[in-house]
Amino acid sequence: MLTSLLNNLTYGSIFILMLLESTVIPVPSEFVIAPAAYHSAAGNMNIWLVVLFGTIGADVGATINYLGGYSLGRPIMYRCANSRWGYMCMLNHAKVEKRKKYFDDHGMVATITGRLIPGIRHLISIPAGLAKMKYWQFILYTTLGAGVWNCILAALGWWLHTFVSEEQLDDKIMEYGEYIKFTILILLAVALLYFMAKWFIKRQKRIHAGEDPNKD
């Protein structure tokens, strides 16, 4: 079924495939949005509708994971944390609450950037539900992250149409897709190092000033 959908891309199949990609089914979004954009460049589809239907599909799929985490994940997590198994893994109720607070404080960054990271993209919705993030915030951040990712893939597919034949398309998408993923990971790593350095400098200043380094 998935092969059939991938080989016969329509706005409806784009929606379905991107919905699946945002749950736990391994559908590579690179081979959905980029080929559709490639055909858009040939005049067979509308690239803006490709991005729109892809993003809506991603939102619906992410919502399924969010609701799963919201309704089922948290009780199970607390049960595990308070169990003997949780004790062996050095988990407890307080640590779970601390992780929840972290997601409450940094949910926007985690959700948006998570949509750009391979392997995390389809899982980031679960901790958002687990942390009880407000749905309007979750769907806003998810839409932004998924929209950016889909625009990147659409731009790739449109650009490839200028010099790649359809027979070479899959190989070129895979090749340039790896470059894109690597670039995104480098940029995120640089951003992370910047904020860690900023946090460390601020903490040291508080220590030298005799203040509590852990205060907000």
Question: What integer pLDDT is reported at residue 79 of this predicted model?
Answer: 67
Residue 73 neighbours by CB distance under 10 Å: 18
Cβ-contact 20, 61 below 8 angstroms: yes
Query: Alpha-carbon dihedral of residues 88, 92, 98, 99, nearest 10 degrees?
Result: 50
Name which of 23-32, 44-53, 84-93, 146-155 the model is least confident about. 84-93
Q: Tokens in use for 100?
A: 């929840």
Query: Is 17 contained in some domain?
Result: yes
Digit-coded pLDDT (tens) for 175-207: 998 899 899 889 888 887 887 888 788 878 777
**Angle at the Cα of 99 (from 150 to 190), degrees rounded to 5?**
50
Give all strands (DSSP E) within the chain, no chain letters.
Answer: none
Cα distance between residue 29 and residue 45, in whole Å: 17
List Cα–Cα distances, 133 to 44, 63, 65, 105, 137, in angstroms: 40, 12, 13, 10, 7
Query: Is 7 contained in some domain?
Result: yes
Digit-coded pLDDT (tens) for 130-173: 888 889 999 998 999 999 999 999 999 999 999 999 889 989 99
Residue in the structure block whose two tokens are 């949005």? 33
Query: Is 209 contained in some domain?
Result: no
Cα distance between residue 162 and residue 98, in whole Å: 50
Q: Tokens in use for 134?
A: 């407000």
Q: If you average pLDDT over residues 71-88, what whole number do you get?
A: 65
Top-confidence residue, 2 or 18: 18
Query: Is 62 contained in some domain?
Result: yes
Cα distance between residue 56 and residue 159, in whole Å: 23
Question: What integer pLDDT is reported at residue 127 of this predicted model?
Answer: 80
Cβ-contact 131, 98 below 8 angstroms: no
Q: How many domains does the chain have?
A: 1
Query: Is 123 contained in some domain?
Result: yes
| DSSP 8-state class, residue 71 | I
Query: Is 172 contained in some domain?
Result: no
Query: Is 196 contained in some domain?
Result: no
Residue type, 99: R
Query: Is 212 contained in some domain?
Result: no
Residue in the structure block whose two tokens are 């891309």? 9
* pTM, two decimal places: 0.78
Find the domain containing 149 and state its range. Answer: 2-165
Q: If you average pLDDT over residues 1-13, what whole number do you get?
A: 71
- Give the helix, strand, coil percentages of the chain, each rounded to 5: 75, 0, 25
